[in-house]
Chain A
Amino acid sequence: MAVATSAPSRLFERPETETGFWSWISTVDHKRIGILYGVSAFLFFLVGGVEALLLRSQLATPNGDLLAANEYNQLFTMHGTTMIFLVVMPLAAAFGNYLVPLMIGARDVAFPRLNAFGYWAFLAGGLFLYASFLLGGAPDGGWFGYAPQTIGQFNPGNGIDFWLIGLVITGLSSLTSAINFIITTLNLRAPGMTLLRMPVFVWMNTVVSFLLLFAIPIITVAFFELYFDRNFGANFFNANEGGDPVLWQHLFWLFGHPEVYILILPAFGIVSEIVPVFARKALFSYAVAVFSGVAIGFMGWGVWAHHMFAVGLGPVANATFAVSTILISVPTGIMIFNWLGTIWGGNVRLRTPMLFAVGFIAMFTIGGLSGATHTIVPHDYQQTDTYYVVAHFHYVLFGGSILGLFAGAYYWFPKVTGKMLGERLGKLHFWLIFAGFNLTFGPMHILGLQGQPRRTYTYPEGMGWDLWNLVASLGAAVIALSVLVFIVNVVRTVKSPERAPEDPWDARTLEWATDSPPPEYNFAQIPVVHSTDAFWHQKYTRDDGGRLVRIPTGGAGGENPTWTTERPLDHGGVGNGHHGHGGHGHGGDGIHMPSRSYYPALAAAGLPLIGFGAIYGWWWGALGALVVMAGVFGWGREPLSEPASE
């Protein structure tokens, strides 16, 4: 915030370019970072999808010979790891990054360079993990990496080490993002936006950030311990030397169960924004939605051993975790009833975002119910480790998270690009993916109940599994087709010159109260907020008869008294720490934003080098450490914003 009185001497010029490749490398703008997360995660989605198609091709027939055992094992490990850590989590980060500052009426997050670092660390970790395919083989221990089949004695080679280190790096990304979001949400809300006036999406993102804050360290500890077992002769999980493999499972699932709420709550938030807009009616109960989300966040810590019912923890542990798991269905069910109550009595427009949102509600309900049957512990002894579980989690993660994220993609595409995705292609995409998804994962319930175990590269004839495996594989092809439709829609839209109308959906939240795409500084004037659905109340009020009427001059910066800021323009609004004069005054408004920087990307680039050091030798590690230190040092020395060049 201090204005530098003299430019410190440095090796490199501060980047200023606003377009082109290098502008993306040096961006610290939350919106651009959100786009980077979104595009990267979508590309990983395609890779994970190809992996899934390979798996399903192998399993389409009994005794398949497309893939050898160790190839299949690498592919299912990478499919799960990719979809969870490199797709759903960063897609949620994409939406969170783009939307949270806009939704709370802020200009950016609290720590823009840390934000950029988080993205580059995610990318570095993901690419490091995938380098394993070219460097001796991908990990083959499953996404859950149970010891001892992942310790060195049973898993020589470097695959597991790539997995451990890659995920430590992406974990660092998640952790820095979480901290950034928590501080942003607590400190940078527009004047008048109390916590209970924030959009539900922001609440869900906050709960997710707290979950990450506490869960990522746990799994990082586990990753380090396994790395030490493999490389430094430690014996945390080695029963032959007094360690305990079950310790790995406890650590993993203490992270792993909150992780599944990390994966679903952003979609809960997205759908909670979309359903009211397309039902033309406020969320049935905002307070209850927020409370349920927070309750799920807390209760999610108390159920982890339901992933371990068959491990032999004893009847007391099993019964206890069955009860705690049953209880968590209550806030979840309440969320679902909240959405139902919003739709009921509304005026429903079934545009593509709403189709996906409704699909989400239905598929998540099914997945939640199959999950509830897992709490029947004596029957879970049958269900666990079978395709019945694979069906359950794909219904909640694909039918839930992925459909919810697509809903958000269609809904906010005009905000990000200023253009609407095609409606006909959007509907085609929805129906294809809905059909394909159910064809793929519906039959897996039956396969699981008929005794087909998970994580098996083949199955013999005569098990009664042939028909539904074939159907599931055909369903996967339909999903692939639907994704192609989506890509065509995006490409066509981006190329088309047609602009979207200013507020295409008649939305309720603040991100729509500015241009599409928003200017770098988000709002010309930071809004003053008086209620939830702040943008809505700018547009509509009640007449004397209590009916809703449109305010004639509604819109950002209009004459509507709710939008006058209480301070002059220059300071950029209360509670927004971005003072100081930068070189980027836009549109003559004199709003100064944090300056670009290469240092976050540089610091992140050193991390995979350290990773190579952990596998190949100390000299790589030393190089990586130097790069990280150069990045962090430069970052620390440069001011947040440069002095004005004029």
Chain B
Amino acid sequence: MRPAPGHVAALLVLLGGCAKDAPQDYLQPEGPIAREAHEMFSRIVWFSVVPVLVVVLGLLIVAVIRNRDPGGRADPLEIPGKHPKLRWVVAPTVILLAIDLFPLASEAKVIFELAKEPKDALQVEVYGHMWWWEYVYPGEKISTANELHIPTGRPVRLTLRTIEPGLPAPEGEEFATGVIHSFWVPKLAGKQDVVPGRANKMTIEAEKPGTYQGQCAEYCNLSHANMRLRVIAQEPADFEAWVAEQQRPAVKPASGPAAEGYEIFNGEGGCVACHTVIGIDGALARTGPNLTHLKSRETFAGSIFENTKANLIKWVTDPPAMKPMRPDEGTGMPDRDLSDEDVEKVVAYLETLK
């Protein structure tokens, strides 16, 4: 039973303007890893930071007020004896050291624990692109974008890499690496950087079903602010159902605008050059997100737009106008200059990709 963290949370919620709608607020963690870090922080805030702050600021204010000479006419002073007692220096030093070092043992333990591979973890490969997130589930053989589904009550081990399939790959490699990103879903866990040339690992775990928001937290230039993400935690049974849905290939629409959109998607639209739709020959690209189950997602384009027909139309019409990107340099979606009717058809097709 720890009253202190609750008090901190309450006080800081108040300071947070009673923001109940603070989806990335890690003062109110919602997973065991985030909670453990929060509790360490709360303990140190209450037992080290606040006392030192109160003592130092208190002494400062009291010293100034007590010894004020408003007229400025008082005489100068010399303290008796040549040197101040060394105890006044040694004592604060020892106290400071004690305050600072006491939490260290438990902190070190947690640092090492977080680096360990958890038992029975679900493995997911996370790929940071400029400026969206790709998730590959090697065991389940599915791939999706921006919204990471996980089962509740089970640790999920993420392996973080960055790739830029839109850039020329170096010799012997499948893909070029990109820039540094950082995967962060605050209510569940702290962040870890996604570093070119490395495969950093981290664990997240949710206790309750729900949608947890996050975003890239390492400046990746132009659209860093637009590289958001969601973690959608589901009861294990629901998660299995979601996996099964994701494993289904897409079905080619038989007729109507969707069928015409399918033709544009695979033809002059050039979409298959970057986007994968499982079930369509030739559509295995990873430059852009896997669209096989686009409409099963709540958001798109780095989780910055609601996944509605109207937004998809605006997006396909002129992507760089909707989100700052550099398609000319291979990072981001270009404007394919489709006519309005063609856009409608393509979106009609996308709407079938549930």
Any chain B CB within 8 A of the CB of A183? Answer: no
Task: Known A149-B179, A323-B104, A365-B53; judge A457-B225 contact (CB<8 A).
Answer: yes
Give chain B residues whose Cβ lies under 8 Å from the Cβ of A142.
219
- Residue of A244, A246, A341, A376 with most chain B CB atoms under a 10 A cut-off: A376
Check B37–A284 contact: CB distance below 8 A. no
- Interface size for chain B: under 10, 10 to 19, 20 to 34, or 35 or more residues? 35 or more
Which one, A346, A454, A540, contacts B219 given CB within 8 A? A454
Task: Known A245-B195, A345-B77, A347-B77; judge A365-B64 contact (CB<8 A).
Answer: no
Check A329–B96 contact: CB distance below 8 A. yes
A397 CA to B280 CA, complexed, in Å = 57
Any chain B CB within 8 A of the CB of A485? Answer: no
Check B219–A330 contact: CB distance below 8 A. no
Task: Known A146-B219, A322-B107; judge A382-B84 contact (CB<8 A).
Answer: no
A-B pairs with beta carbons under 8 Å apart, 23 shown:
A148-B178, A149-B221, A154-B130, A240-B173, A240-B177, A282-B78, A310-B191, A315-B111, A322-B111, A326-B101, A334-B93, A343-B64, A344-B63, A344-B67, A346-B67, A346-B77, A351-B72, A365-B56, A373-B44, A385-B218, A449-B25, A449-B27, A465-B22
Give chain B residues whose Cβ lies under 8 Å from the Cβ of A315.
111-112, 114-115
Any chain A CB within 8 A of the CB of B153? Answer: no
Interface string of A481-512 (1 = CB under 8 A from B): 00000000000000000000000001000000
Interface string of A555-581 (1 = CB under 8 A from B): 000000000000000000000000000
Give chain B residues whose Cβ lies under 8 Å from the Cβ of A358.
60, 64
Check B60–A347 contact: CB distance below 8 A. no
The distance from the CB of A173 to the nearest CB of chain B, in whole angstroms, is 28
Any chain A CB within 8 A of the CB of B253? Answer: no
A465 CA to B84 CA, complexed, in Å = 49
Check A377–B77 contact: CB distance below 8 A. no
Any chain B CB within 8 A of the CB of A69? Answer: yes
Check B101–A382 contact: CB distance below 8 A. no
Any chain B CB within 8 A of the CB of A84? Answer: no
Q: Which residue of A lies closest to B197 (CB)?
A: A239
Q: Which residue of B lies closest to A467 (CB)?
A: B17
Which one, A149, A323, A384, contacts B191 given CB within 8 A? A384
Which one, A240, A326, A372, A464, contacts B104 given CB within 8 A? A326
Check A281–B77 contact: CB distance below 8 A. yes
Which one, A330, A347, A451, contacts B76 given CB within 8 A? A347
Chain A: interface residue total (CB-CB under 8 A)? 100
Any chain A CB within 8 A of the CB of B237? Answer: no
The distance from the CB of B178 to the nearest CB of chain A, in whole angstroms, is 8
Check A373–B115 contact: CB distance below 8 A. no
Q: Which residue of A lies closest to B330 (CB)?
A: A153
A116 CA to B74 CA, complexed, in Å = 43
The distance from the CB of A191 to the nearest CB of chain B, in whole angstroms, is 23
Check A73–B222 contact: CB distance below 8 A. yes
Check B191–A548 contact: CB distance below 8 A. no
Residues of B within 8 A of A (CB): 12, 15-17, 19-27, 34, 36-38, 40-41, 44-45, 48-49, 52-53, 56-57, 59-60, 63-64, 66-70, 72, 74-80, 83-84, 88-89, 92-93, 96-97, 100-101, 103-104, 107-108, 110-112, 114-115, 130, 167, 169-170, 173, 176-180, 182, 184, 186, 189-193, 195-198, 200, 215-226, 304, 324, 329, 331
A560 CA to B75 CA, complexed, in Å = 21
Check A154–B221 contact: CB distance below 8 A. yes
A345 CA to B184 CA, complexed, in Å = 50
Any chain B CB within 8 A of the CB of A35? Answer: no
Interface string of A140-162 (1 = CB under 8 A from B): 11100010110001111000000
The distance from the CB of A400 to the nearest CB of chain B, in whole angstroms, is 14
Any chain B CB within 8 A of the CB of A20? Answer: no
Any chain B CB within 8 A of the CB of A640? Answer: no
Check A70–B324 contact: CB distance below 8 A. yes
Check A446–B16 contact: CB distance below 8 A. yes
Task: Known A310-B191, A330-B93, A464-B22; judge A319-B108 contact (CB<8 A).
Answer: yes
Any chain B CB within 8 A of the CB of A337? Answer: yes
Which one, A146, A284, A456, contacts B225 given CB within 8 A? A456
Closest 3 CB pairs of A and B: A381-B190, A451-B24, A464-B22
Give chain B residues whose Cβ lies under 8 Å from the Cβ of A376.
37, 40-41, 44, 103, 107
A156 CA to B200 CA, complexed, in Å = 28
Task: Known A378-B110, A456-B224; judge A348-B64 contact (CB<8 A).
Answer: yes
Check A506–B44 contact: CB distance below 8 A. no
A444 CA to B176 CA, complexed, in Å = 37
12 additional contacts, CB 8 Å, given A243-B197, A285-B89, A546-B80?
A149-B180, A280-B69, A285-B83, A310-B190, A350-B64, A365-B53, A377-B111, A379-B41, A381-B191, A382-B37, A385-B217, A451-B26
A282 CA to B79 CA, complexed, in Å = 8
Which one, B83, B108, B190, contacts A380 given CB within 8 A? B190
Check A241–B170 contact: CB distance below 8 A. yes
